[in-house]
Structure 1
């Protein structure tokens, strides 16, 4: 009876160790996935910077998730964003700025690109 009890306990311990080992593998795979995602995001950022365009004008209005700009030739554009672009907090209405962005601007359609930065001109 003692031998059967020892075998059962040994079997239960080995099953427990196998379960713990499986969790560690999944966590390390998750870390690899997060690392891969960060690398892909960095590559996407580099590609965006490569395709970047600039527009110069004056800030008409700044809101929580958008701002509008008027160029020297009188065209007005509304630029929306999910996360405030670099430098937006340093400018105010009336400031002359240079906006670096990707995508296409339109006076009629909404902006679907990404604003990379806003700098005082």
Structure 2
């Protein structure tokens, strides 16, 4: 009897943990945007500063720039679409989907 209760509780905990992990994965895949000024472009990253003067680093793979990055220049106002988590300290932990000139 006691063993069956323990198994039931463990099964419930595992199902709850799996559901929470799926929600976190979905949130990481949600597309978000940042609009600001393109300050710097290098082969491995680019930097955008938002209207609050916070600078964000977006990594790129050398030779594989995100869609639209080649169409904008340093000093342009841009909108970056990305997935993942963006931080002033750590930059982007995710993927840049596109970069386009902001209106």
Q: Aligned residues, how many?
A: 74
Q: Scaled by the length of structure 2, what TM-score is found? A: 0.67
- Runs of 4+ off more than 3 Å: none
Equivalent position of 2:100 in the other structure: 119
| Candidates 41, 44, 53, aligned match of 1:74 | 53
- Matched with 1:25 is none
Residue 75 of structure 2 corresponds to 94
Q: Partner of 1:84 in structure 2?
A: 65
Q: How does 1:32-43 map to 2 (within 5 A)?
A: none
TM norm structure 1: 0.57
Distance 2:53 2:40 in 1: 15
**What are the Cα deviations for residues 67-109 of structure 1, in whole angstroms up to 9, with x where unaligned?**
0000001110010022310000011110000000001111111
Q: Which residue number corresponds to residue 62 of structure 1? A: 41
Larger radius of gyration: 1
Which protein has the bigger strand share?
2
Unaligned runs of 5+ in 1: 1-46
Unaligned runs of 5+ in 2: 1-25
Query: Judging changes above 3 Å, is the alpha-carbon distance between structure 1 residues 110 and 55 closer, same or farther for their aligned structure 2 residues?
Result: closer
Deviations 1:17-56 (A, max 9, x none): xxxxxxxxxxxxxxxxxxxxxxxxxxxxxx89x6100000
